[in-house]
Homo-oligomer: A and B are copies of this chain.
Amino acid sequence: MKKLSSNTLNHLRDRIHIIIEGTDTPLGKLFDIVLLIAIAASVAVVMLDSVLYLRLQFGTVFFYAEWFFTILFTIEYLLRLFSAPNRVRYVFSFFGVVDLLSVLPSYLSLIFGGVQYLIVVRILRILRVFRVLKLKSYMQQAGFLAAALRTSQQKITVFFLSLVLLVMIFGSVIYVVEGPENGFTSIPVSIYWATVTLTTVGYGDMSPKTPLGQFIATMVMMTGYSIIAVPTGIFTSELAKSMRPQLHPVTCPNCGKFGHAAGAQFCDRCGHDLHI
């Protein structure tokens, strides 16, 4: 009797798993669509709730909507936990943590009151849309991008370190040249200005007033305008390489030609069988 019950439970577990994680069954597709709408709606509620005049008007609506989504996502979390093949692994996986973080703030707000910082945690729900985007071709394309980023990671680290040092040195120079009387009140603030200028953002909340300061600013801008070529060059080269078809390292037993196209069965120089 117990075994049968266990079987039924396992069967239920499998069914839930297929609906939640799969995309092939009609129910699985429906689940994904409903989840996507729920995520978007709950994030919209968090965002609109921060607009003062909307909160004054629809405050209670937002409050109940928030709790509705929290309970919905809690049920979903429990179902995922129940149906996961390896529960511990799920809880500590990236999406497991995101799933938990998307419901936790609401419960915490009951204890600690409406702490501001919980809003940011709530907005992380938006990361869950990547979950639904399980389409194979998209994942493959994202894989290409990730591979290019991974292989260029060391070059990019060198670039970033140089960028940080450049910004620190430029910031100190402008601090000495312009000084507090022109708004460059301290080195950290001047480094902030150097970053704003080097990255070509250019808010204009601080800008040099002295001729020498403007000349140095010109140097910073020209540098920023030019060295953007570096990360772009790194990433483009890596991506181009990862997308280029590689020759297979096969040697023809007859003529010795090394390197053949993927899928070649015969040598394209002498016609001998490659015996692959």
Contacts and interface: CB of A to CB of B under 8 A. Distances in A.
Interface of A: 43, 46-48, 50-52, 116-117, 119-120, 123-124, 126-127, 129-130, 133, 137-138, 141-142, 144-145, 148, 154-161, 163, 165, 168-169, 172-173, 175-176, 179-180, 185-189, 191-192, 195-205, 207, 211, 214-215, 217-218, 221-222, 224-226, 228-241, 243, 247, 255-273, 276
A230 B269 contact: no
A274 B28 CA distance: 51
Given A186-B50, A187-B47, A189-B214, A172 B119 contact: yes
A129 B199 CA distance: 23
A234 B230 contact: no
A116 B176 contact: yes
Closest 9 CB pairs of A and B: A266-B271, A201-B202, A264-B268, A203-B204, A233-B236, A199-B225, A229-B235, A233-B235, A204-B204
Contacts of A119: 172, 175-176, 187
A218 B270 CA distance: 56
Given A262-B258, A266-B266, A266-B269, A43 B168 contact: yes
Contacts of A273: 271
A202 B192 CA distance: 13
Nearest to A243: B237
A54 to B, nearest CB: 8
Given A119-B187, A148-B233, A263 B267 contact: no
Of A50, A161, A165, A199, the most chain B CB neighbours within 10 A belong to: A199
A98 to B, nearest CB: 12
Given A163-B222, A207-B203, A265 B271 contact: yes
Given A158-B141, A204-B205, A266-B268, A218 B192 contact: yes
Nearest to A137: B154
Contacts of A47: 186-188, 191
Contact of A120 (B127, B176, B189): B176
Given A222-B199, A270-B266, A272-B271, A187 B233 contact: no
17 contacts: A129-B165, A145-B155, A145-B234, A156-B226, A192-B217, A198-B225, A199-B222, A199-B224, A199-B225, A200-B201, A203-B207, A224-B225, A228-B231, A234-B239, A236-B236, A240-B240, A256-B265
A213 to B, nearest CB: 10
Given A120-B172, A159-B145, A276 B262 contact: no
Contacts of A266: 266-271
A222 B241 contact: no
